[in-house]
Structure 1
């Protein structure tokens, strides 16, 4: 069972005032969690990050986004420069714009996995995330396949797979839900790779990382670097790719808008991202 904050009930909802003492570190997902539904940072959340920094509490983001999609927070005052990106495959310094460390999938293993998945899940289409570059096979995108971006390559999946190492392999299916795909893919390649997803209903998309790689695994490395125990870390998330993170830290929080898999756990539930639940909870600690 997940540890809860003292004096809080499973499923309780955090407000603007919280009598619990502040944690030693705060870790938050971005989409569906820290970011508002329109993808921006609310004033409440931005102010809370600055207040936490002033109180000596590092605020670190852990996201499924690749490093090229981090501009939304790159100039946000008060954040810790280390960002856990690509579901834990990359640790990125947003201040110096450099990769500090990464845990990638070798091309030969990616090829082995997509062949197994394609045979068992006909109609699957694949994409390959390298952080700075992205490649996908025709039919992967839900819209027009033509993308004019020098960092994006379109080609046969087998060729893209062996073209280099990958921080993520992505699988999209025409009919199966993300939850169904995650279960099936875990049964098929779970002994070789880590399967998760952070998809909204209808996207039919899963994300595949190197075996053992997750937001939690990279956070453990960061906590070792900063000499902060995981038991004194507070984390916020909303999707299955946050599950390892929330079951690893001492003070886990699920957003009110979270995936049912998270809401079924004994986690402290805070207001939704539309209500700036992360910022309100942080402000409550600091008040």
Structure 2
């Protein structure tokens, strides 16, 4: 079992936002019974649970039928805001094609083994040499291949993926960041296998889209509870007033000023949410304090 919760207990939040892979989802990529029950219980006491993930819209089926979750999902590391209830993209922040094409050339010069892919949220295009997560057998119309310059120049891209099978993700992120600087946002969400980094527009992150959501919902930043496990969650954790990381998180996050909860193998997010739900229920059941009689 993962390490126990570390840090002082937080007050009850107004909104919970959590990453999916490595955080809310179990190691096998499913939603545990404990996490499922916690989300439904949170809804019953008026505590919305919203998801913020690096996954594209195409990969949200794992939470599509999750009862009690907020229908709005922050996808593609904050570049896309999606409504699961209506299957509609509410907001999309695309890369500037001119900047992307120039970045590809600069990255190829500095990282010769780099291979590229591009995500629109609903479609995925990859250049020759890029190793896809699933074998492309041509049966998925949302997946296609083409020359890197052509793919980089598309106007609907929200995220560029850079892969280098000779480096770790941390090493590749440092190399790509040294090339693109602040012209683009560079992060990563995997800690095993070959190096893979995710590149979005300048200033685009889970935090930037979460801030827009909270303004729309009228939620106080100080009472936003966030959960994450990887560097692509760091901006969100820094922005939220109540940041949490799971015990299996990247060392960079475990060393940060965040409350540490049980890992995703022990439903740490769900257990924490269940604690808040219990507090709300206890407060509701507590009899009102009577004023002392006047003399």
TM-score, L = length of structure 1: 0.92
1:49 deviates by 0.4
Q: 1:118 aligns with which of 108, 120, 124?
A: 108
**272-281 vs 162-171, greater mean Cα deviation:** 162-171
Root mean square deviation of aligned Cα: 1.6
For residues 155 and 177 of structure 1, do their structure 2 counterparts lie closer, same or farther at Cα, with a shift above 3 Å needed?
Answer: same
User: 1:48 is matched with which residue?
Assistant: 38
1:84 deviates by 0.2
Q: 1:88 aligns with which of 73, 78, 100?
A: 78
Task: Give the Cα–Cα distance (whole angstroms) in 2 for the partners of residues 199 and 173 of structure 1.
Answer: 13
- Aligned partners of 1:169 and 1:208 also within 8 Å: yes
Q: 2:193 aligns with which of 202, 213, 230?
A: 202
Q: Which runs of 4+ in 1 moved over 3 A?
A: 18-21, 142-147
**198-207 vs 58-67, greater mean Cα deviation:** 198-207
Residue by residue over 1:191-242, the C-alpha shift from the partner in whole angstroms, topping out at 9 and shown as x without a partner, is 2100000012223100000000000000000000011111110000000000
- Aligned partners of 1:181 and 1:205 also within 8 Å: yes
Task: Give the Cα–Cα distance (whole angstroms) in 1 for the partners of residues 32 and 135 of structure 2.
Answer: 33
Residue by residue over 1:168-208, the C-alpha shift from the partner in whole angstroms, topping out at 9 and shown as x without a partner, is 00000121111111112112112210000001222310000
- Aligned partners of 2:15 and 2:224 also within 8 Å: yes
**Structure ranking higher on relative contact order (CA contacts 8 Å, 6+ apart):** 1
Unaligned runs of 5+ in 2: 279-295
User: 2:64 is matched with which residue?
Assistant: 74
Structure 1 or 2, whichever has the larger Rg, is 2
Unaligned runs of 5+ in 1: 1-11
Task: Give the Cα–Cα distance (whole angstroms) in 1 for the partners of residues 135 and 224 of structure 2.
Answer: 42
Residue by residue over 1:241-286, the C-alpha shift from the partner in whole angstroms, topping out at 9 and shown as x without a partner, is 0000111101100110000000011211001101000000111122
Task: Give the Cα–Cα distance (whole angstroms) in 1 for the partners of residues 143 and 165 of structure 2.
Answer: 22
Residue 190 (structure 2) pairs with residue 174 (structure 1): no
Task: Give the Cα–Cα distance (whole angstroms) in 2 for the partners of residues 243 and 71 of structure 1.
Answer: 25
**153-162 vs 92-101, greater mean Cα deviation:** 153-162
Task: Give the Cα–Cα distance (whole angstroms) in 1 for the partners of residues 78 and 261 of structure 2.
Answer: 24
Task: Give the Cα–Cα distance (whole angstroms) in 1 for the partners of residues 88 and 236 of structure 2.
Answer: 23
Q: 2:258 aligns with which of 235, 245, 267?
A: 267
Task: Give the Cα–Cα distance (whole angstroms) in 2 for the partners of residues 104 and 142 of structure 1.
Answer: 22
TM-score, L = length of structure 2: 0.89
Task: Give the Cα–Cα distance (whole angstroms) in 2 for the partners of residues 202 and 251 of structure 1.
Answer: 31
Task: Give the Cα–Cα distance (whole angstroms) in 2 for the partners of residues 48 and 193 of structure 1.
Answer: 37
- Aligned partners of 1:30 and 1:61 also within 8 Å: yes
For residues 196 and 20 of structure 1, do their structure 2 counterparts lie closer, same or farther at Cα, with a shift above 3 Å needed?
Answer: closer
- SS of the residue corresponding to residue 200 of structure 1 reads coil
1:21 deviates by 3.2
User: 1:32 is matched with which residue?
Assistant: 22
